[in-house]
Amino acid sequence: MKLIGNYTKSKTYSRVIPILLSIIMISVFMSGCIDEPEKPTYSYFYSFENDIEQWIEDGTDLGNPPINWSVERSQELSYEGNYSVKLYLENYNDAGKIWIEREFNFSSNSLYKVAVSYMFATKDFGDFNLFRIITGVSKNSPEIADDLNFQDDTGHHQDEDIEYIWLEKNYNFSLLTDEDGKIYVSIGIWGTWETPRTYYLDNINITFTEISTEEIPQIEGNWTINYYDWTGSLTKTENITIERENYQIKIFSNNSEICTGTILKNNLQHPYNLTDFLISGCDFGGLGVNKIFIHNTSYLRTELPLCENCNPAVFLRR
């Protein structure tokens, strides 16, 4: 892993804000009432005009055979100002992944909603042989493919080569920090076709909003899981108990723990974005059920079935 450029803080375009957009917003009305303080939001902006602003280059799957690649500030093309970050990948091994990443430090054991947006320049046209975009957040510095979040393709979806087009990219995430409070943001490309390609990044905006435990749905208590076959007929019920400590939950059946998970903001795309919160990480003994949607404090529904040839299971409050 290498640092690109230097750590000198920019005085003009970089604007690494960290602006505390709402430290404690107090509005005094004529009635004399005072609003409750809102949870803080931190916003950061990077345009790379003066330096790389503590972003670090990294890559994986760049051997077998070794391939050339680079990540650097460039004056070749920019969305605004004179500089951008250039991503170059000679993807002759059909597997290369390169990105920039940056570390942020926040409160420990806290839930954050993270919004990442940036301008992305690509000349990939049509619908075939496109690379994939990497954009994600993590509690640890990503090093291998399994640590990365892969998003949509790199194409501008015009029918012919019209050179570079700047596209606005927007992604939302939810992350529960560890004891050290670190959050890593990564942005890059995954080569999925054996050819060299170049892309550019500019005007990166990142917003972190802390989600308080008071906002988390109170789902602890006694529930019944209803199991349905593929026709929708009820085939089985199971009484369970959900325990919650801040953002963490445990599910018990007959005093045996069957699931542990984390309550997160739901940032999934349609058609899975119908709830504000979900439980992530519950696999029910290896069944692979990773998400339970929290519709309200009396109704939950699994993303996937809990049995073979079944529909998703429904949790009802007892």
Q: Which amino acid is at 80?
A: E
What value does the mean pLDDT of the chain take? 88
Q: Say what the alpha-carbon torsion angle 158, 161, 166, 170 is, to the nearest 10 degrees.
A: 40
Q: Are 310 and 228 in contact (CB under 8 A)?
A: yes
Residues 96, 66: one domain?
yes
Cβ partners under 8 Å of residue 119, min gap 6? 79, 80, 166, 167, 168, 169, 201, 202, 203
Residues 187, 48: one domain?
yes
Residues 99, 184: one domain?
yes
Q: Domain count of the chain?
A: 2
Residues 235, 204: one domain?
no
pLDDT recorded at residue 241: 97
**Domain ranges, residue 97:** 2-211
Instruction: Report which DSSP code applies to 210.
Output: E
Longest CA–CA span in the chain (Å) reads 72
pLDDT recorded at residue 190: 98
Residues 295, 169: one domain?
no
pLDDT recorded at residue 303: 87
| Residue 181, CB-side half-sphere exposure with 13 Å CA sphere | 8
Residues 45, 168: one domain?
yes
The residues facing 290 across adjacent strands are none
CATH number at residue 269: 2.40.128
Residues 139, 266: one domain?
no
pLDDT recorded at residue 286: 67
Q: Which of 177, 192, 211 is the last residue of a domain?
A: 211
Whole-Å CA distances, 210 to 167, 182, 298 = 28, 13, 25
Residues 232, 180: one domain?
no
pLDDT recorded at residue 305: 82
Residues 198, 230: one domain?
no
Whose CA is closest to 193, among 120, 127, 119?
127
pLDDT recorded at residue 37: 52
Q: Which two tokens stand for residue 94?
A: 């059909």
N-terminal to C-terminal alpha carbon distance within the chain: 52
7-65: per-residue pLDDT in tens? 333 333 444 444 444 433 334 333 444 444 566 899 999 999 999 999 999 999 999 89
109-125: per-residue pLDDT in tens? 999 999 999 999 999 99
Q: Which residues of 106-125 are buried (b: 16+ CB within 10 A; e: fewer)?
A: beeebbbbbbbbbbbbbbbb
- Reported confidence tier of residue 1, pLDDT bands at 50, 70, 90: low
Residues 69, 173: one domain?
yes
Q: Which of 162, 189, 211 is the last residue of a domain?
A: 211
Q: Which residue has the tokens 């951008």?
A: 84
pLDDT recorded at residue 270: 85
Q: Which of 32-41, 124-133, 185-194, 218-227 has the lowest mean pLDDT?
A: 32-41
- Reported confidence tier of residue 308, pLDDT bands at 50, 70, 90: confident
Whole-Å CA distances, 150 to 146, 205, 227 = 10, 19, 33
Q: Which two tokens stand for residue 272?
A: 């899975």
pLDDT recorded at residue 285: 66
Q: Which two tokens stand for residue 221?
A: 């208590």
State mean pLDDT over 156-170.
94
Instruction: Report which DSSP code applies to 111.
Output: E
Residue ranges of E strands in 192-309: 196-211, 221-229, 234-245, 248-253, 256-265, 277-280, 291-296, 299-305
- Reported confidence tier of residue 182, pLDDT bands at 50, 70, 90: very high
Residues 199, 93: one domain?
yes
Residues 197, 228: one domain?
no
Instruction: Report which DSSP code applies to 147.
Output: G
Q: Are 135 and 169 in contact (CB under 8 A)?
A: yes
Q: Which of 185, 211, 237 is the last residue of a domain?
A: 211
d(CA 211, CA 4): 33
CATH number at residue 52: 2.60.120.260
d(CA 279, CA 88): 38
